[in-house]
Chain A
Amino acid sequence: MASFADIQLDCGIARGLVRGDRRAQGLAYRILSPAVMGMAVRILQDEGLAQEVVQDTFVELIDKAATLRDPDAVVGWVRRVAVNHCYMRLRSPWHKRRSAVDGTDVLEPVDPTSGDERVEGQRDLERALAALAPETRLVIWLHDVEGYTHREIGELTGQSASYSKSQLARGYARLTKIIEGTADGSETDALRPACSS
């Protein structure tokens, strides 16, 4: 599962992080980085940028862990910082321009002859996600996978809760079409006018 909600960080590791213990830092990275990377690569659709998000998030964690008052809040803190880093990159003019011209898959292709329906379904979903506009992808991921409310997404993006709801509906309309094969996944939404900011 890719969600942060499924992750439990041992309180000894969390306390070690707060103390600046290097072993704890390494363990926290091993436990949390796949979730950060999974989220970043799906939102940004760029492996290099996703790895930058992982790097920035954990450098910030190591640097600021001593200021965390509640060790139990480490997972939520990491998620919030990672989401902010994703959003910052999504908003950069460079990323917007690049998204408009590059629609290649970023995750390793699944062997189509594997016969595993679940894996095939995942591949279709990954492809459909990649075809959405970046901010629509962000809203879908934060709402459906990370459990953000529309109000929280609105606060993050500087928009209203209604904006988040409409992005979710818009994204689902396109996702279902692509998954059912009634829309061409290669035509990215990024070519449309950018989402309102």
Chain B
Amino acid sequence: MDPKPTLSDLLALRDGELDDAELTAAIYADERSRDELVKLARIKRQLKSLPPVTPDPAVWEAIERRARAQPGWLQRFPLATAATVFLAAALSVMLWNPGSEPDRSAAAPQPVARAVDPVGRLMLRSRNLESELFTRAGGRSASEEALLYGIADVDARLGEIYASGSEDPEARERLWRERVTLLESLAEVQRGQAVMRPAIY
């Protein structure tokens, strides 16, 4: 007696999940079962070809608002931030403490930035820009937020380089240069806003 296939059997055969050879043969031998199988395969194909649906644009705005309400970039990159603060502190000790520079000539005043390599100069420039920028009070614009995220990103990459102990001066210099450029852009944006405010009010 031929086994009678159920809808579950047909679906299992369609999906390659039927491991009963006798039942498989019975399905293929029966014209009605074959027709059913074709129909089930067509529905599956149609389901898979249903078009994607684009959400309302307001959804992304809501996501951004909620994401921004989460801890900010300082919290997002705590290690990188700590590394940057540590580097800045170490650099300032190195540059400003005369006792730490044994070869320094006492005869002539030394330009601070001259004493260090390109990375050191970039670090110094970075520190000076930061001290200028982060003393400013008030809220931040979207451009400022975007630049701060960029800086946090560079800090994260710098943190990785320093943490891994990688000896790649070019990579360090490139990242510090990128950091200085972002800080300069941020300074530009803030200067622009400082000029705009009196004009508005």
Could you tell me which A residues sit within 8 Å of B by CB distance?
Answer: 1-3, 19-22, 25-26, 29, 33-38, 41-42, 50-51, 54-55, 58-59, 62-63, 66, 107, 121-122, 125-126, 140-141, 143-145, 150, 165-166, 168-169, 172-173, 175-176, 179
Decide: A25 and B153 in contact? CB cutoff 8 A. no
Cβ–Cβ < 8 Å partners of A144 in chain B: 44, 47-48
Decide: A34 and B55 in contact? CB cutoff 8 A. yes
Decide: A107 and B53 in contact? CB cutoff 8 A. yes
With beta carbons under 8 angstroms apart, the residue of B12, B39, B76 that contacts A20 is: B76
Cβ–Cβ < 8 Å partners of B6 in chain A: 169
Cβ proximity bits B32-71 to A, threshold 8 Å, 1 near / 0 not: 0000000110011011111111111001101100110010
Cβ–Cβ < 8 Å partners of A121 in chain B: 46
Given contacts A2-B49, A34-B52, A38-B53, 6 further A-B contacts (CB under 8 A): A19-B157, A26-B60, A54-B59, A125-B50, A144-B44, A166-B8
Cβ–Cβ < 8 Å partners of A143 in chain B: 15
Could you tell me which B residues sit within 8 Å of A by CB distance?
Answer: 6-8, 11-12, 15, 17, 39-40, 43-44, 46-56, 59-60, 62-63, 66-67, 70, 73, 76-77, 146, 149, 152-153, 156-157
Decide: B11 and A172 in contact? CB cutoff 8 A. yes
For the complex, would chain A's binding face be called helix, strand, loop or mixed by DSSP majority? helix
User: Given known contacts A107-B53, A122-B46, A141-B47, is B11 in contact with A20 (CB within 8 Å)?
Assistant: no
